[in-house]
C-alpha cells in the first residue's frame, strides 16, 4: 500500500495562534478559571487537551453566549474563539468583571473590519456563509443590515434600494461552491464588488485534493465533523472521482479494514484544526492494517 500525506498538513496559523494564546493565559494565571466561549477551534482532540490543563470549554450550543457569560464568576478569564464574536459581548463580560482574551484569527478580523468599512461607506453588504456557524454569526452581529446568503439552503432575500453592493464570505467555504454562488449574485447585482475571503490555508487544501493522481483509490479526510473546512474537504474529495472512496475520520480509531480492502494507494488530508499527532497516528494505523 502506498500512503501519502497531502500538504499542507497540521494547524493553520489562525488555529495555532488561538491554541498558543489560550494555553499561555492558563499557564500565566494558574489560579484563575479560564473559560472558552464555544469551541476554540472545531476539533475534539484540541478541546480535550485544553480541558486537560484546566481550561473549561463552554460548548453547549443550546445556551446563548449571553447566558454563558452571565453564568460565570467575576475574576475569571473569558476566551473568545478563532471564529470571531459579537463585540457587544465584550461589554457584558467587562460588566461581569471578567478579563477578555480574544483569539480571533487575523483573517476573520480583517474581513469583519472590511464589512464595517463598507457599511460606513453606504454599501449594502451580502455575506455568503453557513447560517449559525460561529464565524457567520460573528460577521452578521456587526449590523442588522447585512444580508445573509445561506450556502446550505441558497436562501437569500434580495433587495433593491439603489445602494452599491459589496459581497464577502465565510473564510472556510468550498471554493467551487462559492464561485457558483457569486455567479448567482452577479446575475442579480451585476455591478456588485466581490471580495473572495476564502483563506489561503483552506483554499490550498481544497485545490490540492483536485490535483491528486488518478491512481489514488482511497482518501481519508482527518478532522472533526463539526469543522467547516474539514467538511468542505470531504465534499470536494467525494465528488472529484467516482472511483475513489473518501472517508471522513476523526482519528485512527475510526479506521476499519473494510475501508482499505483491495486498495493500493491511499492519501491522507486534514482540516486546519487537526493535530499533527492525529494525522501521524492515522498514517501508522493504515500501515499496520495493510501489512
Residues that bind ligand SF4 (CB under 6 A): 12-15, 82, 105, 107-108, 171-172, 199, 201-202, 229, 272
Cβ 84 to ligand SF4 shortest distance, Å: 9
Cβ 60 to ligand SF4 shortest distance, Å: 22
**Residue pair 37/25 in contact by the 8 Å Cβ criterion:** no
SS3 of 44-93: HHHHHHHHHCCEEEECCCCCCHHHHHHCCCCCCEEEECCCCCCCHHHHHH
Runs of H (alpha helix) within the chain: 13-28, 44-52, 65-70, 88-95, 106-120, 134-140, 175-188, 200-210, 228-240, 257-260, 276-289
Q: Is 135 a catalytic residue?
A: yes
Give the neighbor-by-neighbor strand order of the sheet with 34-37: 55-58, 34-37, 77-80, 99-102
Place of cell 453566549: 65
Cβ 145 to ligand SF4 shortest distance, Å: 24
Residue 104 CA to residue 118 CA, distance in Å, equals: 20
Residue 202 or 270 having the CB closest to ligand SF4: 202
Residue nearest to ligand SF4 (CB): 14
Residue 15 or 47 having the CB closest to ligand SF4: 15
Residue 14 or 223 having the CB closest to ligand SF4: 14
**Residue pair 70/92 in contact by the 8 Å Cβ criterion:** yes
Residue 250 or 270 having the CB closest to ligand SF4: 270
Cβ 130 to ligand SF4 shortest distance, Å: 13
Residue 199 or 266 having the CB closest to ligand SF4: 199
Sign of torsion over alpha carbons 24, 27, 31, 34: positive
Cβ 47 to ligand SF4 shortest distance, Å: 15
Catalytic residue among 67, 135, 197, 207: 135
Tell which residue, 27, 155, 31, 38, has the closest CA to residue 85: 38
Which residues have a catalytic role annotated? 135
Amino acid at each position: 500500500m502506498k500512503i501519502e500525506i497531502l500538504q499542507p498538513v497540521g494547524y493553520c496559523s489562525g488555529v495555532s495562534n488561538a491554541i498558543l494564546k489560550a494555553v499561555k493565559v492558563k499557564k500565566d494565571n494558574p489560579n484563575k478559571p479560564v473559560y472558552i466561549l464555544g469551541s476554540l477551534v472545531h476539533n475534539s482532540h484540541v478541546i480535550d487537551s485544553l480541558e486537560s490543563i484546566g481550561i473549561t470549554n463552554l460548548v453547549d450550543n443550546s445556551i446563548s453566549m449571553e447566558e454563558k457569560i452571565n453564568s460565570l464568576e467575576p475574576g475569571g478569564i473569558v476566551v473568545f474563539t478563532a471564529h470571531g464574536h459579537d463585540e457587544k459581548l465584550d461589554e457584558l463580560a467587562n460588566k461581569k468583571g471578567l478579563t477578555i482574551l480574544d483569539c480571533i484569527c487575523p483573517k476573520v478580523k480583517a474581513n469583519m473590519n472590511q464589512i464595517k468599512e463598507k457599511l460606513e461607506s453606504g454599501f449594502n453588504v451580502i455575506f455568503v456563509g453557513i447560517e449559525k456557524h460561529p464565524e457567520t454569526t460573528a460577521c452578521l452581529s456587526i449590523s442588522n443590515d447585512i444580508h445573509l446568503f445561506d450556502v446550505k439552503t441558497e436562501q437569500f432575500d434580495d433587495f433593491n434600494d439603489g445602494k452599491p453592493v459589496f459581497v464577502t464570505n465565510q473564510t472556510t467555504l468550498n471554493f467551487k461552491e462559492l464561485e457558483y454562488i457569486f455567479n448567482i449574485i452577479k446575475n442579480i447585482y451585476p455591478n456588485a464588488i466581490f471580495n473572495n475571503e476564502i483563506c489561503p490555508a483552506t483554499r490550498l487544501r481544497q485545490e490540492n485534493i483536485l490535483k491528486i493522481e488518478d491512481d489514488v483509490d482511497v482518501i481519508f479526510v482527518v478532522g472533526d465533523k463539526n469543522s467547516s473546512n474539514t467538511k468542505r474537504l470531504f465534499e470536494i474529495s467525494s465528488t472529484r472521482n467516482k472511483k475513489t472512496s473518501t472517508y471522513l475520520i476523526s482519528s485512527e480509531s475510526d479506521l476499519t479494514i473494510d475501508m482499505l480492502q483491495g486498495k493500493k494507494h491511499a492519501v491522507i488530508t486534514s482540516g486546519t484544526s487537526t493535530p499533527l499527532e492525529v494525522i501521524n497516528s492515522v498514517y501508522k494505523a493504515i500501515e499496520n492494517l495493510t501489512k
